[in-house]
Chains A and B, each alone.
Chain A
Amino acid sequence: MSKPQVGFYWCAACGGCEEAVVDLNEDILKVVSAVDIVFWPVALDFKRSDVEAMADGQMAVCFINGAVRSSEQLEMAELLRRKAKTVIAFGSCSHMGGIPGLANLHGRQAMMDEAYRNVPSMAAGNTVYPQEKSDVPEGSLHLPTLWETVKTLDQVIDVDYYLPGCPPPVNLINDAVGAILSGQLPPKGTVLAPDISLCEECDRKDSKPVDLSLTEFKRPHLAESDPQKCLLAQGFLCLGAVTRKGCGSVCIKGNMPCTGCMGPTSHVVDFGAKALSAMASLAAAKEDQEIDAVMDKIVDPVGTFYRYSLPASLLHRRYQPLADGGKQS
């Protein structure tokens, strides 16, 4: 019997998810002996034409990491969806939009201006921007269209499962591969991680008081933290209480607060709104001025609470003012 075929692909991603696959270490040998990897642009020399030549549903599973923000990524996601029986959104970007999703605060033109005009490494007065179509003597050259809005994978194609995390923890990848190979998969749409918050597995949970009342919010680069005590109890915005467990609390072990890359549990619709709710209610302040002073310490609420999930949130992005005040539509 031939081995099941597996593909990996990256969209708008940093490459960390590919690292996570390599971090399987020796276990990757077990994976390779059990499956045929038929597509993996970062590591193996297969081309898009090889995927196009496959029969529909030929791949048993395709892991797609990265957010979707260009016409090329959409085409590849749609192609891989056709060719794979099971598609797994791999990592925070694919799952919720991730760090690239914060581009939804700005939009395409602002990003182009920043990258091709404003950055210090660009010669002053540069007016040359990449174009989607350029004519050269040999013919026309085309680049993919960069979108105004970054999207999650499940906003553009049907997704079967999600492997959360930035990047997904090795043990969860192993469990997922094991479940696929044995055919023992949970219901479609499941996030392949425990459905309970990170505090539950945190080493410091015994030092978390039942009633928290914070007089200030601290930022990790501006205050020293006790490496034994609950970070939230110390005033650091640790999102562990609203974040799904399964990462082994690696950030907290490194004495850094949880930033929420694993996303919410299944009981939460909008991660940022819920995280903000949980954190804001912990402040002790009662008067308007006191509350304002405490909240001033959270300098970037969107970047703090929607760090990995702005495209997946109910609002998706920042909105432009209507020039006419909405008088016409």
Chain B
Amino acid sequence: MSDNKPTQGQFEPRIVAFFCNWCTYTAADLAGTARLAYAPNVRVVRIMCSGRLDPQFIVKALREGADGVLIGGCHPGDCHYQEGNYKALRRITLFKRLLASLGIEEGRVRLEWIAASEGEKVQRVINEMTEVVRRLGPLQLELRSRLNGAEVVTEPHAEGVPQGGRV
């Protein structure tokens, strides 16, 4: 586990982005060609379709040190494979509910539709998400799993509970 340690200055979140080949990745390319500057916190992985995004990719990214995961696909109706982005929307809607039950904050996973022509939306979404995740802070899974007491430490129970001998 390689948690992002807050540095001396501002915390720089590490965000993994999965962009679909046909729309969002092309839009990111356009943003580059147009020299639109955006936060350097995102590492882009190109996938053929947002429907290819297995939720396992999201948990794997979070487990291995990402503070957030951004998914970009074609607008509804524009999917190169007809229905892939709808599958992504259903999966990610349900998966975000599951992540909420596990205590992972809502803003750490974001799905956006970004068409090939929307270079400035790539810039805006990345900048917005970087700020949201910066405010949430590092994910720190290891630390947060121990807040209620480390695995092997024999710490006393909550205050106000007397030491009883009865079992």
Contacts and interface: CB of A to CB of B under 8 A. Distances in A.
Interface string B121-160: 0000000000000011111110111111111101001101
B123 to A, nearest CB: 24
B56 A269 contact: yes
Interface residues of B, number: 57
B86 interface: yes
A313 B59 CA distance: 9
A273 B96 CA distance: 11
A145 B152 contact: yes
* Interface class of chain B by DSSP: loop
Given A127-B164, A141-B165, A301-B97, A148 B157 contact: no
Instruction: Report the contact-size class of chain A (Cβ under 8 Å from the partner).
Output: 35 or more
Interface string A110-146: 0010000000000000011111111110000101010
B3, B94, B146 — which one has the most chain A CB atoms within 10 A of its CB?
A: B94
Contacts, number: 172
A7 interface: no
Contact of A317 (B91, B102, B140): B102
Interface of B: 3, 5-6, 11, 51, 54-56, 58-60, 62-63, 76, 86-87, 89-91, 93-95, 97-98, 101-105, 135-141, 143-152, 154, 157-158, 160-167
26 contacts: A109-B148, A128-B164, A128-B166, A129-B161, A131-B157, A132-B154, A141-B165, A143-B167, A149-B145, A273-B54, A273-B56, A281-B90, A288-B93, A291-B90, A292-B93, A294-B90, A302-B101, A314-B56, A314-B63, A315-B104, A318-B102, A319-B144, A321-B105, A325-B136, A326-B6, A327-B137
